[in-house]
């Protein structure tokens, strides 16, 4: 049964606690069902020509809920008090992460409002869905965002003015443990012991930590580059390139592939000249190396003009709901 094309992916990994419903007749299996998630159900049934697998979409009722909290001690405590799950408040922090550092910048008196989906079936709450709109007031400044899905199914969060909340680039393309070497035009090279400009930032991280594309782009180099070891270079638009070096191995995107921001392009290692596992990351504008930690990052694309009217129509009630708190 696990070899049925529809079933393979969902039966290969079974974890303790996973439930499979088996219907049998004197030990002869007639059908088998497994909940893949809240919406999708894998059903395998016996027919005349053996078993067939099918993925059924189950009906889920979505309705919008609102929550509001004021920070008295910590964001998580305020969330708890407002009946907001940790996952949901993390989700909100992710939306605003480009403007607010939730570790450093949050103050007592800051406030959040979240309009979010709740998923229900047959009178039972299944969990929280996506955040439809949110506001965070940080030290007196209000940040607002609403979710918009375009005709290709891409979901993004935009401000009331239609600005994308994201930047076109992430600041660091890897979850790092520390910065082992900064951008420095006059650095003494640790292996060669000569003065050699360090044209990027070294992010120390365990071997095999995923390295993610800093922005949407195209793979223009994927191979070994002398001291850089296994290296990927991405082209972003006309004038920006980013480089990722010392990988232990490459991920699937091949030379010429398009990648999206956050997509894994390789894994941390110490190939080439390196004293320990780290990502060497470079950011170039028109061929000139810039400090990846301080270079001003361009914003991600705003709401496309063809969606502007639709965006305004669909988000107007959400902004109103935020105003109500």
Tokens of 163: 């600005």
The stretch among 32-40, 107-115, 195-203, 230-238 that binds Zn ion (CB under 5 A) is 195-203
Q: Number of residues in contact with Zn ion, rule: CB under 5 A? A: 2
Binding Zn ion by CB under 5 A: which of 280, 284, 297, 318? 280
CB of 200 to Zn ion, least distance (A): 5
CB of 246 to Zn ion, least distance (A): 8
Residue whose tokens read 């408040």: 89
Q: Write each residue from 29 to 58 as x if it is in contact with Zn ion (CB under 5 A), else as -, in one continuous string.
A: ------------------------------
202 binds Zn ion (CB under 5 A): yes
The stretch among 78-86, 115-123, 236-244, 274-282 that binds Zn ion (CB under 5 A) is 274-282
Nearer residue to Zn ion within complex by CB, 202 or 216: 202
Q: Provide the 10 A C-beta neighbour count for residue 77.
A: 12
Per the CB < 8 A criterion, the answer to whether 73 and 108 are in contact is yes
Single out the residue of 4, 249, 216 nearest to residue 232, CA to CA. 249
246 binds Zn ion (CB under 5 A): no
Q: What are phi and psi of 252, to 5 degrees?
A: -65, -30
282 binds Zn ion (CB under 5 A): no
Per the CB < 8 A criterion, the answer to whether 20 and 33 are in contact is yes
What is the C-alpha to C-alpha distance for residues 307 and 309, in angstroms, rounded to an integer?
6
Q: Provide the 10 A C-beta neighbour count for residue 129.
A: 17
CB of 267 to Zn ion, least distance (A): 17
Residue with nearest beta carbon to Zn ion: 280
Nearer residue to Zn ion within complex by CB, 222 or 280: 280
Per the CB < 8 A criterion, the answer to whether 83 and 116 are in contact is no
Q: What are phi and psi of 181, to 5 degrees?
A: -160, 130
117 binds Zn ion (CB under 5 A): no
Interaction site with Zn ion (CB under 5 A): 202, 280
């Amino acid at each position: 049964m696990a070899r049925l094309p529809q079933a393979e992916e969902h039966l290969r990994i079974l974890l303790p606690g996973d439930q499979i419903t088996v219907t049998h007749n004197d030990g002869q299996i007639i059908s088998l069902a497994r909940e893949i998630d809240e919406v999708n159900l894998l059903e395998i049934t016996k027919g005349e020509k053996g078993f067939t697998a099918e993925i059924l979409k189950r009906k889920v009722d979505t309705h919008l809920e609102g929550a509001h909290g004021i920070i008295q001690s910590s964001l998580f405590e305020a969330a708890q008090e407002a009946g907001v799950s940790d996952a949901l408040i993390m989700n909100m922090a992710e939306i605003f992460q480009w403007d607010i550092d939730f570790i450093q910048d949050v103050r007592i008196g800051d406030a959040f409002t979240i309009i979010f989906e709740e998923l229900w079936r047959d009178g039972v709450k299944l969990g929280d869905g996506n955040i439809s709109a949110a506001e965070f007031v940080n030290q007196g400044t209000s940040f607002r965002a609403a979710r918009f899905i375009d005709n290709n199914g891409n979901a993004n969060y935009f401000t009331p003015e239609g600005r994308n909340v994201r930047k076109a680039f992430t600041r660091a393309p890897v979850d790092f443990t520390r910065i082992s070497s900064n951008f420095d035009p006059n650095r003494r090279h640790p292996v060669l012991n000569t003065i050699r400009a360090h044209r990027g930032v070294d992010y120390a991280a365990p071997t095999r930590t995923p390295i993610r594309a800093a922005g949407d782009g195209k793979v223009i180099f994927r191979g070994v580059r002398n001291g850089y070891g296994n290296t990927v270079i991405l082209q972003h638009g006309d004038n920006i390139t980013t480089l990722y070096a010392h990988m232990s191995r490459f991920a699937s995107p091949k030379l010429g592939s398009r990648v999206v921001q956050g997509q894994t392009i390789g894994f941390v290692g110490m190939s080439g000249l390196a004293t320990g596992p780290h990502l060497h990351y470079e950011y170039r504008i028109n061929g000139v190396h810039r400090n990846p930690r301080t270079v001003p990052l361009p914003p991600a694309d705003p709401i496309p003009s063809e969606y502007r009217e639709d965006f305004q129509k669909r988000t107007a009630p959400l902004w109103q709901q935020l105003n109500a708190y």
